[in-house]
Amino acid sequence: MRRLFLIVLKLVLTLVILGAALWGAGFLYFRLSGATAGIAAIGFGIAALAGLVGIWTSEARLPLGFAALFIGLLSWWSSFLPSHQRDWIPELARLPSIAREGEVLTVSNVRNFRWRSEQDYDQRWETRRYDLAAISGADIFLSYWSGEAIAHLLVSFTFSDQPPLTFSVEIRREKGEEYSAIAGFFRSYEMAYVAADERDIVGLRTNARKEDARLFRLSASPAQARDLLLAYAKDVNDLAARPRWYNTLTTNCTTVVYHLVGTVAPEWKFSLPLDPRVLLSGYLPGYLQRIGAIRQDVPLDELVRLARIGDKARALSLDDPDFSAKIREGVPTGRP
């Protein structure tokens, strides 16, 4: 029995060291620069291998040495702090903030760019006011750029008296910085909220980037949409006050929204189960239909077909004041 226990313990420690080696090598590779990054990552892998040898040869100094090295790496990792003070790309240069007076929200730094291409655009930052009493619902856009598994999520709040207000959770890139999903695990990017006009944030993806954008009308009542908008407002202001890291797995365009909905779902008596489709965001419509957030009386395949708004958006001018209404034509409403 004792021997079996030792074997199981060694197997567990082996998995722990392998996980630590993978994370540590990735952190060194993506946080250092030039040849130093590769050399440090390989060196850390060799140290992990020595620790594994020590576990299976009962040479305790080797795994203890690796443990000390890993703790030192964790200490360095914890010293990396997010910041709002960097040389950001223009479209993420400003963060929104939201002030409330009674039933009126004043949103500062609403982005309303006009995109001719990703590199050619007119910059516009605006302050807009929204009457909470005029909120009519909420919709989501999913924009696909590489297969069906992953899509970028936008949440758009609609009003009876003015165009929608759309929120996006983004990686806040610095000038000259490229995005890497793997680097997003290692405190490489800050998180940003973008509050925008649909002609900007949807038009960027449909018209400038030629992505496959799909629109789904949510079944949320005006009261539920109001609750969610206020949850957004609180988190938008929290982020403006305190920067935070983006994380590819835990703090991304879908998990942040999942958390926000979770904060108000108890008031709605609404179930929000965990599901892999929260991470595999391209499959989110199936999850939303399962929980009743989009129409359940229309087959999912038909909803997806009708949700494709890319061609409609590309046929419109991004200066068209009726852009939002026109891309919604033919898309099923949130409730029968």
DSSP 149-167: S-EEEEEEEEESSS--EEE
Enclosing domain of residue 218: 90-327
Burial pattern 242-278, b for ≥16 Cβ within 10 A else e, equals ebebbbbeebbbbbbbbebbeebbeeeeeebeeeebb
Query: Based on the domain organization, do 153 and 283 belong to the same domain?
Result: yes
Residue 317 tokens read as 């001018």
Looking at the structure, do residues 255 and 132 belong to the same domain, yes or no? yes
Per-residue confidence in pLDDT tens, the chain, 336 aa:
777 777 888 888 899 999 999 999 999 999 888 889 999 999 999 999 998 888 888 888 888 999 999 999 999 999 999 999 999 999 999 999 999 999 999 999 999 999 999 999 999 999 999 999 999 999 999 999 888 999 999 999 999 999 999 999 999 999 999 888 899 999 999 999 999 999 999 999 999 999 999 999 999 999 999 999 999 999 999 999 999 999 998 999 999 999 999 999 887 767 788 889 988 999 999 999 999 999 999 999 999 999 999 999 999 999 999 999 999 999 999 888
Boundary-marking domain end, from 56, 78, 100? 78
Q: Is 332 inside a domain boundary? A: no
- Same domain for 103 and 69: no
- Regarding whether 73 and 192 lie in a shared domain, the answer is no
155 and 62 part of one domain? no
Digit-coded pLDDT (tens) for 41-57: 999 999 999 988 888 88
Domain match, 220 and 94 both: yes
Residue 107 lies in a domain: yes
Q: Is residue 85 part of a domain?
A: no
What total of structural domains would you count in the chain?
Answer: 2
pTM of the model: 0.92
Are 191 and 223 members of one domain?
yes
- The whole-angstrom separation of Cα 284 and Cα 268 is 20
Looking at residue 270, what is its pLDDT?
74
Q: Is 172 strand, coil or helix?
A: strand
Structure tokens belonging to residue 78? 């914890």
The reply to whether 237 falls in a domain is: yes
**pLDDT given for residue 31 in this prediction:** 87
Asked if residue 133 is part of any domain, the answer here is yes
How high is the pLDDT of residue 269?
Answer: 67
Q: Which pLDDT value is given to residue 8? A: 81
132 found inside a domain: yes
Is 118 within a domain?
yes
Asked whether residue 10 is domain-assigned, the answer is yes
Q: Is the domain of 65 the same as that of 123?
A: no
Comparing CA positions, the residue from 284, 294, 112, 83 lying closest to residue 204 is 112
Q: 294 and 213, same structural domain?
A: yes
* Pair (250, 288) in one structural domain: yes
| Listed residues 78, 103, 122: the one ending a domain | 78
Integer Cα distance of 82 and 246 in angstroms: 9
State whether 124 and 179 are in the same domain: yes
pLDDT of residue 144: 96
Same domain, residue pair 112 and 174: yes
* Residue 112: predicted pLDDT: 97
Q: Which residue, of 52, 78, 104, is where some domain finishes?
A: 78
